[in-house]
Amino acid sequence: MNPTLAAIALALLLSPSALAAGGFVTEQARPADAFVDSIGVNVHLSYLPEAYFQHYSDVIKPLILNLGVRNVRDGLNSNWTPQVFANMRDLAHTGIRFSFITNPSQVSAQRLEHILTDVIGASHIASVEGINEPDNGSPPGWQAVTLANQKAVYDAVKSNPATKAIPVYGPSLTGTDGGTLPGIAQFMDAGNIHPYMGGRNPETNGWGNDGYGSIAYALRAVAAPTSGGLPVAITECGLHNAVKTTNGFKYTPIDVSTKYIPRMFLTYFNDGIVRSYVYELMDEGADAANVEDNFGLVDFENRPKPSYTALRNLIALLKDPGPAMTRTGSLSYTLSGATTNVMHTLLEKRDGSFYLAIWLAVQDWDPDPKVYQTHPDQIVTLSLGRRFRRIDAAIPNDSATWSPMLQSRESVTLPVQDKVTIVRLTP
């Protein structure tokens, strides 16, 4: 048994079977499979010199399918070689759904309709979005170009009966320009942001006086002025491992990003994000000083990083495929003990089992002085409002295997870590 899970098992043996009266909170669970479906990954199937194209069949496709992710994001260009579109169709036929970036210089609205319906197939499209990071670098006239493209794309998708159900995301704004796009919300179904953490933890409050770099800043200062009260998607997020970079975009060591990636998806799901796409599947190069080469879940030699494995395990533990759940149950419970910085996500599967993902929202790496920050486990007691037949736990960073705990208990005492622990409660 994993040493940490052994400690949890011992804690369970020592936990009381009787509860203190009262004090429970009742929380509505969310479907576990809805969380899994909120996970996406960026790919570049058109990058001809790289494995994305050269080794699509023997490397890229198996990596995507083994990861268990259902949604990928890619660009779209009318001038791509037919083989790129053939690879996209092939991947789509495995059940993977695409989010496509549009740009008027690469694909016209008319050509977009043809690609969606005739080349890929509308049922394989998860979403279509506007221009990628149009405000990045503040090119002159970006607002007018972005607005015109968004309207053209929205009209093209919504005017065709075959594609009108496809969600249209807005352009992915970074907030670096500070500009807004009044009037564009009418041409989207969801806003679109890129809240890169800059080497910090997913739950960060950001840096500077405005909190730039945090999800709260991105929702408040970037999404709200443009998309108003619409839902919000994150079409790029994540961390790079360019250990030798001198770029102001700070790096994150691989062992730390392995802890952050599962926490990132759960944090954004808690914040109501409709879907989050990590950037990206594979490193684009081997230069340890180049930021753009080092965002991958897989390195340039086709070797999965530990973050790939952690995400694969997270998906494997929580997936619950089938028709969308229209109703979920609620759990009455309390968390007591050392609960400072403890965050959680409550999920439920179709069989009525609850899944409580729990972790410490702490910073494990300070990207400015480039030093690790250590955080001891915090002992937390989960007291339940009813008895459960079985209680198991798993740590996705370590394994996709459930370790059985004691049966028929109403109280669980466990060490909460900076890695996600999932507690499964079987009624």
Domains of the chain: 3-29+328-426 (2.60.40), 33-318 (3.20.20.80)
Question: Alpha-carbon distance 244 to 55, whole Å?
Answer: 28
For residues 33 and 267, the answer to whether their CB atoms sit within 8 Å is no
Q: Give the Cβ contact number of residue 240 at 10 Å.
A: 25
- Residues with Cβ < 8 Å from 123, sequence gap 6 or more? none
DSSP state of 50: S
Strand ranges inside 102-215, DSSP E: 125-129, 168-169, 191-193
Cα–Cα distance for residue pair 223/217, rounded to 1 Å: 9
pLDDT at 179: 67
Model confidence at 12: pLDDT above 80? no
What is the pLDDT averaged over residues 309-317? 98
- Average pLDDT, whole number, for the chain? 92
Q: Give the three-state DSSP class for 356.
A: strand
CA distances from 112 to 19, 190, 388 (A): 60, 19, 52
Categorize the per-residue pLDDT at 2 as very low, low, confident or very high, splitting at 50, 70 and 90. Answer: low
Torsion angle, alpha carbons of 344, 346, 349, 354, to 10? 90
What is d(CA 346, CA 109) in angstroms, rounded to the nearest whole number? 41
Distance between CA atoms of residues 181 and 171, nearest Å: 10
Q: pTM of this prediction?
A: 0.94
pLDDT for 176? 67
Provide the percentage of residues in the chain whose pLDDT is more than 70. 93
Q: Which whole number is the average pLDDT over 42-55? A: 96
Distance CA 224, CA 284 (A): 33
Distances (CA, A) of 81 to 53, 78, 96, 105, 243: 11, 9, 21, 17, 35
**Dihedral (CA of 319, 323, 326, 331) sign:** negative
Distance CA(332)–CA(223), nearest Å, equals 34
366 - beta bridge partners? 371
Q: What is the mean pLDDT of residues 227-233?
A: 94
pLDDT of residue 412: 87
Residue where the block lists tokens 């194209």: 53
Q: Is the pLDDT of residue 282 over 70?
A: yes
Which residues lie closer than 8 Å to 418 by C-beta, 6 or more apart?
259, 359, 360, 362, 364, 375
Mean of pLDDT values over 69-88: 96
Task: Flag whether pLDDT at 249 surpasses 80.
Answer: yes
In 43-190, beta strands by DSSP E: 71-74, 97-101, 125-129, 168-169
- 32 has pLDDT over 80: yes
* Length in residues, the chain: 427
Q: What pLDDT score does 209 carry? A: 76
Integer distance in angstroms from the first to the last C-alpha of the chain? 24
pLDDT score recorded for residue 423 = 96
Q: Is the confidence at residue 177, as pLDDT, over 70?
A: no
Quick one: pLDDT at residue 20? 38
Count of beta carbons in the 10 Å neighbourhood of residue 65 = 13
